Chain A
Amino acid sequence: MTPLLLLMFLLVAAGGTVVVSTQDPKRQAVTLSVYGVLLALLFLLLQAPDVALSQVAVGTAVVPLMVLLAVRKVRGGKR
């Protein structure tokens, strides 16, 4: 395993942990988005450009956007 791959795996493991331990969902949307980028980079290194493209489109754009909109609605309801 190349050092670069090793580093990427470590970053992904750490990234997932950070997303889980971010308590505030609004900030979690941001960490989730960053985590999505990390995953996409790992997939590129693993020679999976198709998957990386999907991950960028879904994991860093659509899903975090939905999370943000949900947080906005949920918080708005609590006021």
Chain B
Amino acid sequence: MTRQVRWVVFWLGAAGFGVLAVLAMIRMPGFGSLVHPYRDLAVPLANARSTPNVVSALNFDQRALDTLIEETILLGSVVGAAALLRPSDHEREHLATEEGRTLEATRLLGYLLLPMTLMVGIDVVVHGHLTPGGGFQGGVVLATGVHLLYVAGSYRTLQKLRPLAWYRLAEALGAGAFVVLGLLGLLVAGGFLVNFLPYGTSGDLFSSGTVVLLNIAVGIEVASGVIVLLAQFLAQALTVQEIR
């Protein structure tokens, strides 16, 4: 198809879609409406299970199946990206020279920020049922934190402190822990992903039953998964080269 035909097809479709969207959207409930039936069910149930962060209650208790599959998508994508970015037969990994020099100040800043980021990440993970955040957000923060090493030191330091095999294992274990907790619910309480642990007192670290454990499992999986994922991209950009 020529570019011209492509544009005709697209603009016809876009015009139709636009007209329909406008006609439809004026029938939407107004922005800021007071009617939210699902919320009215979800909030009291979350409070009854000592989970002040209702979003976490939804993600890890009421609609935990969605989150399990979401984490599986992440797992699948990390494995998929690793498969797609594996060095092919004509390539090998080779780190030519250290890329430029990092300023001492940058280096210092990186080393200072690293422990802080790690602390913040862990905090966000374990308090997911109480405050905004949770396993996913904390996990990404942790993964990003590890990459401060790249900013601070060098790719070599990062490689040394980043035994990828272990992160792959941790990723599998985190994802597996989610499934196992779900299956324990089936065995103990008769339903897959049932929140079968005592709910405790609202506001405590160990409250809300399995929500806190699922958050930690997801935190481990996401942190190691994102590290592995970024490692593939870094390796492609920095070290994988074609053999000429």
Contact = CB atoms under 8 A, between A and B. Distances in A.
A/B touching: CB–CB < 8 A:
yes
Contact of B55 (A50, A62, A66, A76): A50
Interface residue tally on A, bucketed by range = 10 to 19
Given A69-B236, A73-B237, A53 B230 contact: no
Contact of A62 (B56, B134, B140): B140
Interface residue tally on B, bucketed by range = 20 to 34
A58 interface: yes
A53 B144 CA distance: 13
A69 B55 CA distance: 33
Given A1-B32, A61-B144, A62-B144, A53 B233 contact: no
B233 A57 contact: no
A57 B142 CA distance: 10
Interface in A3-60: 49-50, 52-54, 57-58
A72 B141 contact: no
Contacts of A53: 124, 132-133, 137
Contacts of B136: 54
Contacts, number: 49
A12 to B, nearest CB: 14
Interface secondary structure of B, over-half rule? helix
Interface secondary structure of A, over-half rule? helix
A50 B53 contact: yes
B67 to A, nearest CB: 13
Contacts of B134: 50
A70 B132 contact: no
Contact of A69 (B53, B144, B233): B233
Interface of A: 1, 49-50, 52-54, 57-58, 61-62, 65-66, 69-70, 72-73, 76
6 contacts: A1-B32, A49-B132, A57-B141, A61-B144, A65-B233, A69-B233
Interface of B: 31-32, 53, 55-56, 124, 132-134, 136-137, 140-141, 143-144, 147, 226, 229-230, 233-234, 236-237
